[in-house]
């Protein structure tokens, strides 16, 4: 079967839309959907179909709007201190434990009762968790986790940047953590941590 260039554009656009629906990351879903909708606009122009052009141009605009919301700092982000044995936190960690172990295989449920625990919130919904042991002005992190849909949403960038006041109010000005797996180490480097012996450290800005 011979496919001309116009048909190839149509099939490519369809494939991109299907791939976008398989994404667990909100940002990747929107980004791939944006490319797919633009491809469909091109396809609509090639076959001279105004409905296809108009519909997918509107979808492209919506994708740009949502991507700007995701990446442009318009989301309501927060870090809420909770008891480390909070039933909600325990259930959250238990549900996500297999995914947590992909990045921090040494983490186990039931951290020390004196540990500091935070739920990372995005638009009022739990998006991650941070658990550590405070030693003076240093927080020695045992868990730093963000769920799949929000890993590209800059929650961690906010936490260690503009949102770091949550640490300073507790008298913390230095964060340290073990590296975990290679993807976790790369995540730490992206968020301003530097290697210090067997651990990674970050001094919080003012």
How wide is the angle at C-alpha 149 spanned by C-alphas 147 and 150, nearest 5°? 70
Residues 44 and 126 in one domain: no
Residues 39 and 84 in one domain: no
**Among 71, 101, 119, which residue terminates a domain?**
71
Residues 40 and 108 in one domain: no
Mean predicted confidence (pLDDT) in 81-110: 92
Beta strands in 137-181 (DSSP E): 138-146, 174-177
Helix H or strand E segment including 159: helix 155-159
Please identify which residue in the block is written with the tokens 């290697």. Answer: 195
**Among 53, 71, 89, which residue terminates a domain?**
71
Residues 132 and 89 in one domain: yes
Provide the mean pLDDT of the chain: 87
CB within 8 A of 39, min separation 6: which ones? 9, 12, 13, 16
**Among 21, 48, 71, which residue terminates a domain?**
71
Please identify which residue in the block is written with the tokens 């260039």. Answer: 5
Residues 17 and 101 in one domain: no
Residues 193 and 116 in one domain: yes
Query: Which tokens sit at 151?
Result: 């890993």
- Convert the pLDDT of each residue in 55-92 to its tens digit: 999 999 988 887 777 676 556 788 999 999 999 999 99
Residues 22 and 112 in one domain: no
pLDDT of residue 30: 85
- How many distinct structural domains can be found in the chain? 2
Range of the domain at 22: 5-71
Residues 150 and 84 in one domain: yes
Query: Which tokens sit at 149?
Result: 């849909």
CATH value at residue 156: 3.40.630.30
pLDDT of residue 92: 95
Q: Is the pLDDT of residue 98 over 60?
A: yes
pLDDT of residue 27: 77
Residues 9 and 107 in one domain: no
106 vs 154, residue with greater confidence:
106
pLDDT of residue 120: 93
- Convert the pLDDT of each residue in 111-165 to its tens digit: 788 899 999 998 888 999 999 999 999 999 999 999 988 877 678 888 888 888 8
Residues 17 and 111 in one domain: no
pTM: 0.71
Residues 137 and 167 in one domain: yes
Distance separating the N- and C-terminal Cα atoms of the chain: 64
- Closest listed residue to residue 141, CA positions, set 165, 176, 174: 176
pLDDT of residue 73: 56
């Amino acid at each position: 079967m011979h496919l001309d260039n116009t048909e190839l554009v149509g099939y490519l656009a369809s494939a991109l839309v299907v791939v976008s629906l398989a994404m667990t990351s909100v940002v990747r879903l929107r980004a791939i959907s944006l490319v797919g909708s633009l491809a469909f606009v091109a396809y609509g122009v090639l076959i001279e179909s105004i409905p296809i052009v108009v519909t997918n141009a509107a979808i492209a605009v919506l994708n740009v709007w949502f991507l700007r919301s995701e990446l442009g700092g318009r989301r309501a982000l927060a870090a809420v201190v909770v008891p480390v044995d909070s039933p909600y936190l325990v259930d959250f960690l238990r549900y996500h434990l297999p995914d947590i172990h992909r990045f921090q295989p040494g983490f186990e449920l039931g951290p020390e009762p004196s540990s500091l625990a935070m739920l990372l919130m995005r638009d009022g919904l739990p998006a991650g968790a941070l658990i550590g042991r405070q030693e003076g002005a240093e927080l020695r992190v045992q868990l730093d986790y963000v769920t799949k849909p929000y890993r590209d949403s800059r929650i961690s960038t906010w936490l260690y940047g503009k949102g770091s006041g949550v640490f300073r109010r507790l008298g913390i000005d230095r964060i340290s953590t073990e590296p975990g797996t290679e993807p976790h180490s790369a995540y730490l480097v992206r968020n301003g941590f530097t290697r210090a012996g067997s651990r990674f450290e970050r001094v919080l800005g003012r």
